[in-house]
Amino acid sequence: MVSAKGTKSHIHRIFCSVAQKFHSHQHYDAEKVERSKNIAGTSLRGKVAVITGSSKSIGAAIAKALAAEGANVIINYAKDGKSAEEVAQQINSASIASTSASISLPPTSTDVQKNGPNGVELPPQQQAVLIKADTSTISGGQYLLQETLRMFGRLDILILSAGLMGSKTLSEIDEPFFDAHFDSNVKAPLFLVKAAAEVMERPGGRIIFLSTSLTASSTLLPNTLCYVASKGAAEQIARVLAKDLGTKGFTVNTVAPGPVDTTLFRIGTPQHVIDSIAAQIPSHRIAEPEDIAPIVAFLASPAAQWVNGQILGVNGGYVV
């Protein structure tokens, strides 16, 4: 025989169990709704993006693609300031011409106009700014990050586009050649990511490495030894970081282009070799930097929040 007190206790336990399940369901739905709010398509409005090595070629195309989606972009260069200025001017001209763009950026050290109330310094309407820094060194990467934070106070997107691509066979390489590739393509980017991860906006930070489809290709030339080895190392670093930094709400991915028609690609490459490579691509052409940039822009966007730790071959079917 069950006492009234026992019956009351049993009913209380059932009620608590049902309430707990109901509360958990509500909590789950609330989290789901909150995640859906964070999915804002591919717009990068209000984001701050650093693109290393963005004065020309793929890096420049990436900077323009991110700016077209509304991001404030850092054009980074080590030597070619003229090309970097041209990229920034193109972006800023397009921003001014657009009636829908209204992005106010912090002042640079040399370009400030005193036109605010009581002579307060106001920044010019710029969407792209320049920072000279040698990102093949750890100190150069640290300087780039510090200047970005000084200007904008935040960092949302880090694109590791700068790199070294030398051509020497095993019999030709020496220690300085090897070290230069691994410093530029592996060591410096890793430590830049380490520093950036401490200050990037979370959740939602985006880190994207640039590699090469040669890491997965069977048509390799002997003189790509150090380049392919260093890019392969960077790919594996990105895979591991996706597991690590994913706990902070970041994504870490790698874009691996195939042959791209850049000055660097054409130097020392005979036209008949270029034609032969193009013949191996279904569309029978070499990629342009603008073929690569939209994929990077997508990975940098909120819409790509569920793409993490991936190596995306963007090569037109050159490597499948």
For residue range 245-255, list pLDDT tens digits in order: 999 999 999 99
196: nearest Cα among 310, 65, 50? 50
Q: Which fold has domain 44-314?
A: Rossmann fold (3.40.50)
pLDDT-derived band at 200 (thresholds 50, 70, 90) equals very high
- Respond yes or no: is residue 227 known to be catalytic: yes
Distance, CA of 204 to CA of 195 (rounded, Å) = 17
Distance, CA of 196 to CA of 302 (rounded, Å) = 19
- Which two three-digit tokens encode residue 23? 């509360």
Residue 210 pLDDT > 50, yes or no? yes
Show contacts of 228-234: CB within 8 Å, 24+ apart.
229/181, 230/164, 230/181, 230/182, 230/184, 230/185, 230/186, 231/163, 231/185, 231/256, 233/182, 233/185, 233/186, 234/160, 234/185, 234/186, 234/189, 234/209
Largest CA distance in the chain: 97
pLDDT (tens digit per residue) in 86-106: 999 999 999 887 734 444 555
Q: What is the mean pLDDT of residues 119-144?
A: 82
Residue 120 pLDDT > 50, yes or no? no
Model pLDDT, residue 109: 39
Q: Which is catalytic among the residues 28, 77, 143, 227? A: 227
Model pLDDT, residue 251: 98
Q: What is the mean pLDDT of residues 126-151?
A: 97
Distance, CA of 136 to CA of 143 (rounded, Å) = 12
Show contacts of 221-225: CB within 8 Å, 24+ apart.
222/169, 222/170, 223/167, 223/168, 223/169, 223/172, 224/167, 225/168, 225/169, 225/170, 225/173
Distance, CA of 318 to CA of 320 (rounded, Å) = 7
Prediction pTM value: 0.81
pLDDT-derived band at 126 (thresholds 50, 70, 90) equals confident
